[in-house]
Each structure stands twice: as structure tokens, then as C-alpha cells.
Amino acid sequence: MAYDPTPTKPMFTSLQYCLRCGMPSAERDLTFDDMGICNICQSSEQKMAITWVEREKELRVILDQYRGREGTEYDCIVPISGGKDSAFQLYLITQVYKMKPLAVTFSHNWYSETGMRNLRWCLETFDCDHIMFTPSRSLVNRAARHSLGMIGDSCWHCHAGIGAFPLQIAVKYNIPLLIWGESVAEHSGMSNYNTIIKFDREYFKYVSSRFEHWEMATDYLSVRDLSPFALPGWEEVEKLGLVGIHLGDHVFWDGERQVELLRDLYGWREEVVEGTYKCYKSVECIMPGVHDYTKFLKRGYGRATDHASQDCRTGLMTREEANEYIRAHDPKRPAILEYYLKSTGYTEEEFYRIMDRQREATGVISREEIEAALADHQARFGG
């Protein structure tokens, strides 16, 4: 049987799991060396060997090139959601490097109460000018409906918006430097610390959104409707001299310690997040439960796997402990699914049929395996 019911073992015998962190082969761009260690673990080894003092010096050189630049009143743009990564970005840029940023927020229009409170806190604590764009409720609902069949999760509008809106503002206000937080090499197989993905106009299309706005048009979403998600043209970006950096490529990134600093010294707040056992990642949003449940239905793992693998990688838990957390969270039907279905007009049967097609398209795991995992979770945990 491809599904293994043993609590302390990985759920699926048909997937390969990293011998160190337990990340499954269903992860995008994941590879394994001859010892069965994944390339994300290999990136973490690179991270331990980097001379971070030298990389931080390189960061200071970059920042100094844009500090007090003529032609704009801001040194840089810091895209923020109020989540733990963007809060730490703003902390570093304002408190450590003494830059004058323009904070820019694309609102997914799914803000949690804690998330909205953290966003206000972030802006007041670090004293920044701020621009925020919020798409209409009907546009979000229609985009979330179409998103499921196009990319297999509910969140295309968020993936696309956080890529497009800061670039739109950069062009409008003539601010060429955009500063992001966590490196894609931190928890992804798409890159590593020695081969950093260059930030350009299509960075978020490659990393998450997959389609530009005009490619998402359908009978109930016109290209005009989708214009808030339009990327500036290549000529505009080149004229601006766009530069995007991730602080995690230049300073040692430790999400756990950063949360402790923001929470204990400044008052940033955590909250229970559906789909995982950690209380800080995506705390600003009500919808991560659906996003991560669709990933489980499509690829056989969700956010608890992501977090448990990170904790195994850093020595905070054993793989056996990780597997218990994963079984308790990844297959759990999120309560927010009801809201998603109501907002998009899907029935639950339609939702699962679409996810069946998405799973078949990925080809990494079978319907029978997923159904066995869901049934086992229901029997053990009742949900």
C-alpha cells in the first residue's frame, strides 16, 4: 500500500523523502544527492559556511548607492504585509540601516484581525510612509475561483499582486530599489545561496504566480478587471534601472529568532494559523488553510511539512516527531474552506473534482493515496 499508516513514518511510501529533513520529492525542483539529502538541506549547509560579515558589507554598499538619491524622496521600497518577514525587513531598513523607505502593501483583501493589527503596528513602530492597494471583494472572489483551476490554489491574485503592485509604485515614484526579506534559497529547491535568482520583472511569475494578468482572463474576468495585477513593461523597468534584493541573501536569516525579537521587544503578535503548528507564518491572512490544503491534495504535503522540515533541518525536532505533527495538520480539512466555497460559488464536490485534475496534472501522487490519508486523519483526529 502506497499510504503508510504508521504514525512516526512519512505518510506516503511512493514519495522519496530527504533523509535529513523529511522534505518529500513532490516539492518543486527538489533534488537529492547520492546520500539521499535534498538540495534545500545542501543550501542550509552553504548557509553555515558563508562569511556573512562580508555579505553584509556588500549589502551596505548597495544601500549606500541609493541612500539620498536625487530625483526621489525615498531611498527604497519595502513591500510589506505586516507578517513576520516584512516586519523584520522594515525593522532592519529603518532601525539598523537608517534608510528612508516607502512601505508598499498589496492587500489580498483576506486580512485577519491580527494581521491588520500587525500591519498598523508595523507602520507606527517603524514610522514609515505607506501606500496600500486593495482589490474589490468581487474581483478577489472571481480571481480566487479561476485561480483554483489555473494554478491549483486559491491565491493567484495574491501571488501576482505582491509582484506587480510594488513594481507599479517603483515606476510611478521613480524608486529603483526594492527590498524583500527571506531568500528563496532558505526553504525552496528553486535556488541556493551560491546561485541566487536575479530579481527582475518576472521574478514572482517564476516563483509563484505562473501567469501574467492577461493570461488569467476568462468570461468572468476581463483583462481590464485584472489590470491591478499588470506588471510594468520591460522598457519601463529597464528605464527605471530596477534592482531587487532579498535581505536573506546578505544577512543570516533566522525566522524563529526574528519572531522572538519582533514579538518580545516590539509587540508583534502571533495567532493560530490553520494547516500548521506554528503561529506566525501567514498570520496576516485568513486563507492559508485553503492554500496549504490544496497543496496537500495536489502534491501530498502541506505547510506542516514545510515547517517540520525546517525544524528538522535546524535540529529543533526529530523526523519521527515531525511526522506526527504532519499527520495531525496536513490532511485536516480547514474550516475556512466554507468561506472560500461561499465566496467563489463552488460546491465542495466541484472543489475536489478540480483538485483531482490538478493532482493528475502533477502526477506525483495518486487519488487513492490521498483518500487513504484523509480517511486515516478523520479516524484519528476527527477532522
**pLDDT tops 90 at residue 3:** no
Q: In what order do the strands lie in the sheet with 129-133?
A: 129-133, 101-106, 76-79, 177-180, 243-246
Let me know if residue 259 belongs to a domain.
no
Whether 199 and 87 map to the same domain: the answer is yes
Residue 93 lies in a domain: yes
For residue 71, being part of any structural domain is answered with yes
pLDDT band at residue 177, thresholds of 50, 70 and 90?
A: very high
Per-residue pLDDT band at 2 (split at 50, 70, 90):
confident
Q: How confident is the model at residue 281 (pLDDT cuts 50, 70, 90)?
A: confident
pLDDT at residue 312 tops 60: yes
Q: How confident is the model at residue 23 (pLDDT cuts 50, 70, 90)?
A: very high
Name the residue range of residue 279's domain. Answer: 1-37+274-383
Contact assessment for residue 288 and residue 273, using Cβ atoms and an 8 Å cutoff: yes
The label of the residue with cell 546520500 reads 35
Q: What percent of the chain has pLDDT over 70?
A: 99
Mean pLDDT confidence for 39-53: 95
Which of 141, 175, 171 has the alpha carbon at shortest distance from 155? Answer: 141
N residues, the chain: 383
| pLDDT tens-digit map of 70-81 | 888 999 999 999
87-117 pLDDT per residue, tens = 999 999 999 999 999 999 999 999 999 999 9
Regarding whether 227 and 101 lie in a shared domain, the answer is yes
Q: What is the pLDDT of residue 5?
A: 87
Q: What phi-psi label fits residue 102: left (phi over 0), alpha (psi between -120 and 50 degrees) or beta? A: beta
d(CA 295, CA 360): 13
d(CA 307, CA 316): 11
At CA 260, angle to CA 255 and CA 264, rounded to 5? 155
Closest-CA residue to 209 (of 143, 163, 271, 141)? 163
What is the tally of structural domains in the chain? 2
Both 280 and 196 in one domain: the answer is: no
Residue 140 in domain = yes
Residue 264 is assigned to a structural domain of this protein: no
Whichever domain contains 89, its CATH number is: 3.40.50
pLDDT at 163: 95
Q: Tell me the C-alpha to C-alpha distance, in Å, between residue 365 and each of 296, 355, 360, 371.
A: 10, 12, 8, 11
pLDDT score, position 120 = 96
Q: What is the pLDDT of residues 218-272, one digit of tens each?
A: 999 999 999 999 999 999 999 999 999 999 999 999 999 999 999 999 999 999 9
Question: 10: which 3 cell numbers?
Answer: 512519512
- Strand 101-106 versus strand 129-133 pairing type: parallel
- Residue 279 sits in the same domain as residue 243: no
pLDDT at residue 198 tops 90: no
Same domain (yes/no): 232, 316: no
Residues in contact with 138: Cβ distance below 8 Å, sequence separation at least 6, in sequence order? none
Considering only CA atoms, which of 325, 320, 290, 287 is closest in space to residue 306?
A: 325
Query: 219 and 305: one domain?
Result: no
Mean pLDDT of the chain: 95
- Decide if 150 is inside a domain: yes
* Residue 1's pLDDT band (cuts 50, 70, 90): low
Q: How sure is the predictor about 383, in pLDDT bands with cuts at 50, 70 and 90?
A: low
